[in-house]
Chains A and B, each alone.
Chain A
């Protein structure tokens, strides 16, 4: 079954799976950025939830495409994943705006290691989310499963 699915996944499918993987990586970086005492953000549960959901949606979209062929459901799943990833990115920006301001746009917290950590790691996570969204968007232009295989 697993081999069968793998054999049917196209380049587009792998791009989407890459997006799914990156979504998890971005989430892990986001969680790490909130690890210093006092730098947790209220949005973190949503970030985790949305990231995992986006990952599942992307994996689901690829698997579904491989098993049943391209259709409305995989498409909705991919678009849904992009919406969730976008919300996650906004949540990260919301949650990190103060540390971004005090480290990157002023000198208030420069040199204060925990704040700089929370800021720069958080910023890295945002960059990863952006890359994830771009990759997913690129993947959405491609077929997730090989056409010939699906036809068979």
Chain B
């Protein structure tokens, strides 16, 4: 047995390898246990209640329609509810852009589907009833067949930003007889074209960004292969229907103007499970009448907006003066955030004495890196439809040098709306027609700082089939001499609210009452009054219409303008109403009082500091004004040199945080602030009010280390706090909707929990719902409420109190890479969609966390980019989208002040100051003006190097999502404990987060005896087994080898 010592040596070698691997794995798993739990659905720590009482699982319970007769979650009902909502969303949000009597088609139509993107719809269409040409779909290859149990791959099925279609030649090469199959599937050709989106990179401008063989003028223009496929379809089919799958506004002119393309539908980016396809099918076949309105304006040339002039990567010419602490060997793009790297960089910064450490671009390279980048948003408020419609009105009214060649892209001579725009914002056709009229406007003054306009909108169905329509309410404010003199800009038309009609039968009229908060009509005067103003005037308008352009035409009709004046068609004066503003404290024709105070009674003032480049260098940049379109058209701003004052901000020198040398808090004072004795536990604070005096006691009982950990850790789970019995809180993050959320919790079993989650669609993390652009296009609050309700229920059954969605940034240009995570270009539409989802989820304790607060206007350079814009633009466009859900004013009652309770900050700066560290943004606007009491988490790894500063500004946590040990240098108590204000900010952050969690399903499973304990999980069992077995093998190998060696030596001797 002992002859061959080498065998035992081998055993020992294998043992040592296995032991080292097991120990490494255990370390890796334990340091990332929260991430592992999230991924595997395990629970590495569980809440234990030593004393049972009947308070558990009573605070938030799932809705009955999701449970079976025994009160347990019914997976089939749960799944169906989500899919039903997704179908409804698609039916409400699909936008019919063109219909030349091609639609609807037969429910069992034999169709041929063209386009690589058809792959995601083919199977679902077949299930719905279409007979789809199999040869053509097969020719498109594996994309058509490699579908999950749903109907498309869970991952993005198409290469990022690859606009190439499979060419006709490639298809014919695969199947030369393809054309002969068309005759049998000839009812219609359905062509699916589109573009993809993802975070971290934008589309590039110009023809250079496109493969030259594709002969496209830019990334969003039609490619040669796309045109070829469309031409092939039109040559072989009498009926050609194009489905547009995109969020980035593609150039659709070649389809719009092609008489052989009879129908175009905007369908968003369909979901993974076929629900979107079912909704589209219902519309194609006429089972449902389309009623969506376009979420963004679709320009004829995608680069034609003034915002596009300064869209891209622009670096400060003196970027070295920013003094970003970098060492590419330690901390470059793609490098990891290791303890050594962090320590080395902190040392390097200390050596330099100033500068920033870029933490957010670690490992997420691409174009993320943005500390040296700036963006001049000199287009001001004229983004999206606000530009095209305002310039259109000025052309009609012959004012502001609008009628010129400046900014012309597709117009044959001077700028012309119809030649520059394919489809306007809010536009959408139906299988019927509607006529709108507006009733008289009345006003209701609620106190000194709120005026609500009320009027009725009557909708008449003048067509032959029943249908629904968005009721889009727009306003126009007069553009006055005061505005011109003080740089106040006014969009010719802006959405102020919306409703969706019910089903209206042919010939039937229905009347809908509408309310408009004049806060959304007021303009922000950043230069003179430095607050929101209304001007005393009788030239205000409300209008309704099929989109912004139609509403504007109705206003112009009310003003007596006609086609002869340059309008593209005559408007309907009855759909617009003129009204006068004579309220509030008017001085010299200006009311800066009524809306100069927020709903919380706080005086509204400029808060964003030096936010335009001109604030640093007077007169350097011309801001676009409708007073002179030609003279102020944006100029591309390259290689700007950051002035010294700006450099200070870029280096993060915002707040002077006290250190040991100049501390303002003694050890005795510190001891009194934390670790105080208290009997209060988190469980005692279930549903407690924000101003409950006990919060101070609860927070003060936490140790300093607990408080720092709890205040800061907000990503990949929240820290548990033993002292107060707070269990780890977790969150879910998804682009559009939560999928199955681990109802198989190992915690004390909730009554509704099922034994084991159904293996539904493995690997799926997103995908019940179409993208947010379709949500916006639905103009339907009820749909948003239903999705919010389901998300709230998901929070309960999935133990995920926090949900990081949706994106509430607005689209600045068509080229933004992250457009699919945001609703649209309009702040009111975005804000209302977010509010309705957040409110409904809140009823079940689900905390909707809108992101990215704020100013994520492009992905290029997003990590630290400095966008410069007027405060008017910031407030009226970018911030209003967050203000609406945060204030949630619509739902406030005398008893309860409703509000969205979660926000994620952006990587971006505002001006030269990080959003996370902007006191004006995070405290003065968010907390004081809007009355926000919720929590704010940073985006991934952002601004870790200025933790004390962000806490002082009002941030309440970080999504660091990495090894806890690697964060250690940043969250070291030494960085915080010598500054009283920072310590107070930590306590405040703790209070806010605890308060938020006290209103979530997390409270379901805790009582006073609750505490968190270590739990044996499958992965723990695996590594413990590994360590044990390998230890035995190693020991056996070593012992046997030694024995063998001794035996053999003895034999030899």
Chain B, range 1-54, C-beta contacts under 8 Å to A: 5-7, 9-14, 16-17, 20-21, 24
Q: Check: A140 CB closer than 8 A to any chain B CB.
A: yes
Q: Is B401 an interface residue (CB 8 A)?
A: no
The chain B residue sitting closest to A98, CB to CB, is: B363
Known contacts A72-B1045, A141-B6; A78 and B13 CB within 8 A of each other: yes
Residues of chain B lying within 8 A (CB to CB) of residue A114? 333-334, 365
Stretch from A1-9, A23-31, A39-47 at the B interface? A39-47
Report the minimal beta-carbon distance from B161 to chain A, rounded to whole angstroms. Answer: 8
Query: Which of B329, B341, B365, B1045 is close to A112, meaning CB atoms less than 8 Å apart?
Result: B365
Query: Are B328 and A40 in contact, with the CB atoms below 8 A?
Result: yes
A98, B5: Cα distance in complex, Å: 43
Q: Do A38 and B9 touch (CB < 8 A)?
A: no
Q: Given that A38-B328, A86-B21, A111-B159 are known contacts, is A97 also in contact with B13, CB under 8 Å in the complex? A: no
Would B332 and A102 count as touching, CB distance under 8 A? no
Within the complex, which residue of B199, B328, B330, B341 is in contact with A37, where a contact is CB–CB below 8 Å? B328
Contacts A110-B160, A115-B333 given; does A42 touch B341 at CB 8 Å: yes
> B290 to chain A: closest CB distance in Å?
32
The listed residue (B155, B199, B337) touching A108 by CB distance below 8 A is B199
- The docked-state distance in angstroms from the alpha carbon of A87 to that of B27 is 13
Known: A72-B1045, A102-B364, A140-B6. A82 touches B335 (CB 8 A): no
Query: Is A83's CB within 8 Å of the partner chain B?
Result: yes
Establish whether residues B329 and A115, one from each chain, have CB atoms under 8 Å apart when the complex forms: no
B330 touches A78 (CB 8 A): no
B residues near A133, Cβ cutoff 8 Å = 17
In the complex, what residues of A have CB within 8 A of residue B17's CB? 82-83, 86, 133, 137
CA distance A110 to B161 in the complex (A): 11
Q: CA separation between A115 and B368, bound complex, in Å?
A: 13
Residues of B with C-beta under 8 A to A107 = 155-156, 160, 198
* Residue of A78, A94, A137, A142 ringed by the most chain B CB atoms within 10 A: A137
Distance (Å) between the CB of A37 and the closest chain B CB? Answer: 6
Expressed in whole angstroms, the Cα–Cα distance for A39 and B363 within the complex equals 9
Question: Do A141 and B332 contact each other (CB < 8 Å), given the known contacts A42-B338, A109-B365, A112-B365?
Answer: no
- Tally of B interface residues using CB under 8 Å: 42
Closest to A78 in B: B13
Chain B, 792-844, CB within 8 A of any chain A CB: none
Contact of A38 with B6 in the complex, beta carbons under 8 Å: no
Give the CA-CA distance A38 to B337 in the complex, in Å. 13
**Taking the complex as formed, is A118 at the interface, i.e. its CB lies under 8 A from any CB of chain B?**
yes
Number of interface residues of A (CB under 8 A): 44
A38 touches B335 (CB 8 A): yes
Bound CA span A143–B338, Å: 41
Please measure, in the bound complex, the distance between the C-alpha atom of A87 and the C-alpha atom of B19, giving whole angstroms.
12
Q: Are A39 and B332 in contact (CB under 8 A)?
A: yes
The answer to whether A82 and B13 touch across the interface, beta carbons within 8 angstroms, is yes
CA distance A111 to B209 in the complex (A): 14
Residues 85-111 of A, flagged 1 when their CB comes within 8 A of B and 0 if not, give 011001000110111011000011111
A40 to B332, CA, bound (A): 7
Alpha-carbon gap, A22 to B513, bound state (A): 78
A94 with B21: in contact, given A82-B13, A109-B366, A141-B10 (CB under 8 Å)?
no
In the complex, what residue of chain A is closest to B32 when comparing beta carbons?
A: A97
> Quick check: A102 and B334 within 8 Å, CB to CB?
yes
Within 8 Å by CB of B334, from A90, A98, A111, A142, lies: A98
C-alpha gap A72/B338 in the complex (Å): 38
CA distance A140 to B4 in the complex (A): 12
**Chain A residue at minimal CB-CB distance from B7:** A141
- Which residues of chain B come closer than 8 Å to A41, judged between CB atoms? 335-336
B200 within 8 A of A: yes
Instruction: Choose one: B16, B156, B334; the contact of A82 (CB below 8 Å).
Output: B16
Q: A66-85 CB contact bits vs B (8 Å, 1 = yes)?
A: 00001110010011001100
Q: Report A114 CB to chain B, min CB distance, Å.
A: 7
Q: Using Cβ atoms and an 8 Å threshold, which residues of chain A touch B329? A: 40, 42
Question: Which residue in A36, A79, A95 is a CB contact (below 8 Å) of B12?
Answer: A79
Complex contacts, B366 vs chain A, CB 8 Å: 108-109, 112, 115
- Alpha-carbon distance between A98 and B341 when the two chains are bound, in angstroms: 14
Contact B159 A37 (CB under 8 A): no
**Contact between chains at A37 and B332 (CB < 8 Å):** yes
A71–B201 Cα distance when bound, in Å, is 59
Q: Please determine whether B334 and A70 come into contact, CB atoms closer than 8 angstroms.
A: no
User: Using an 8 Å CB-CB cutoff, how does the interface string of B56-88 with A read, 1 for contact, 0 for none?
Assistant: 000000000000000000000000000000000
Task: Answer yes or no: B1041 CB below 8 A from chain A CBs.
Answer: yes
Which chain A positions have C-beta within 8 A of B20? 83, 86-87, 90
Q: Whose C-beta in chain A lies nearest to the C-beta of B14?
A: A137
Q: A98 — which chain B residues lie within 8 A by C-beta?
A: 334-337, 362-363
Q: Report if A40-B13 is in contact (Cβ < 8 Å); known contacts: A108-B199, A141-B6.
A: no
Residue-by-residue, is B166-199 near A (CB-CB < 8 Å gives 1, otherwise 0)? 0000000000000000000000000000000011
Chain A: CB-nearest residue to B329: A40
Is the C-beta of B664 less than 8 angstroms from some C-beta in chain A? Answer: no
Decide: A143 and B363 in contact? CB cutoff 8 A: no
Complex CA–CA separation, A71 to B160 (angstroms): 58
The answer to whether B5 and A38 have CB atoms under 8 Å apart is no
Residues of B within 8 A of A143 (CB): 6
Determine the chain B residues whose CB is within 8 A of the CB of A90 once the complex forms. Answer: 20, 24
User: At the interface, yes or no: B340 with Cβ under 8 Å from chain A?
Assistant: yes
A137 touches B13 (CB 8 A): yes
Interface centre among B5, B337, B340 (most CB of A within 10 A): B5
Min CB–CB distance B1 → chain A (angstroms): 15
Residues on B with beta carbons closer than 8 Å to the beta carbon of A142? 6, 10
Task: Please tell me if A136 contacts chain B, counting CB pairs below 8 Å.
Answer: yes
Mark A45-76 against chain B: 1 for CB-CB distance below 8 A, else 0.
00000000000000000000000001110010
Name which of B201, B336, B341, B362 has the most chain A CB atoms within 10 A of its CB.
Answer: B336
Chain B nearest CB, measured from A119 CB (Å): 8
By a CB distance below 8 angstroms, the chain B residues around A112 are: 201, 365-366
On whether the beta carbons of A39 and B333 are closer than 8 Å, the reply is yes
Instruction: Given A79-B9, A109-B364, answer yes or no on A38-B332 (Cβ-Cβ < 8 Å).
Output: yes
A38-B335, A78-B9 known; A111-B160 Cβ under 8 A? yes
A101 to chain B, nearest CB (A): 7
| B364 & A140 in contact (Cβ 8 Å cutoff) | no
Tell me, rounded to whole Å, the shortest Cβ–Cβ distance linking B8 to chain A. 9
CA–CA, A93 and B800, complex, Å: 30
Q: In whole angstroms, what is the CA distance A61 to B9 when docked? A: 13
With a cutoff of 8 Å between Cβ atoms, the chain A residues found around residue B155 in the complex are: 107
* Residues of B close to A82: CB separation below 8 A: 13, 16-17
Given contacts A82-B17, A83-B16, A86-B20, contact A109 B9 (CB under 8 A): no
User: Which listed residue, A40, A71, A86, touches B335 by the CB 8 Å rule?
Assistant: A40
- Chain A residues 107-152 with CB under 8 Å of chain B are 107-112, 114-115, 118, 133, 136-138, 140-144
Q: How far is the CA of A111 from the CA of B367 in the complex (A)?
A: 12
Closest to A12 in B: B6
Which one of A37, A86, A118 has the highest number of Cβ atoms from chain B below 10 Å of its Cβ? Answer: A86
CB of B196, distance to nearest CB on chain A (Å): 10
CA distance A98 to B333 in the complex (A): 10
Q: Which residues of A contact B363 (CB under 8 A)?
A: 98-99, 101-102
Per CB-CB distance, the 4 closest pairs between chain A and chain B, nearest first, are: A38-B332, A141-B10, A98-B363, A38-B333
A-B residue pairs in contact (CB < 8 Å), sample of 13:
A40-B330, A40-B335, A42-B330, A42-B338, A42-B341, A70-B5, A70-B6, A78-B13, A87-B20, A107-B156, A109-B200, A111-B160, A143-B6
Chain B residues close to A by CB (< 8 Å): 5-7, 9-14, 16-17, 20-21, 24, 155-156, 159-161, 198-201, 328-330, 332-338, 340-341, 362-366, 1041, 1045
Additional A-B contact list (14), CB under 8 Å, known A94-B338, A140-B6: A38-B334, A40-B329, A42-B336, A42-B341, A79-B16, A86-B17, A97-B336, A98-B362, A107-B156, A108-B199, A108-B364, A114-B334, A138-B10, A141-B7
Q: Which residues of A contact B (CB under 8 A)?
A: 12, 36-42, 70-72, 75, 78-79, 82-83, 86-87, 90, 94-95, 97-99, 101-102, 107-112, 114-115, 118, 133, 136-138, 140-144
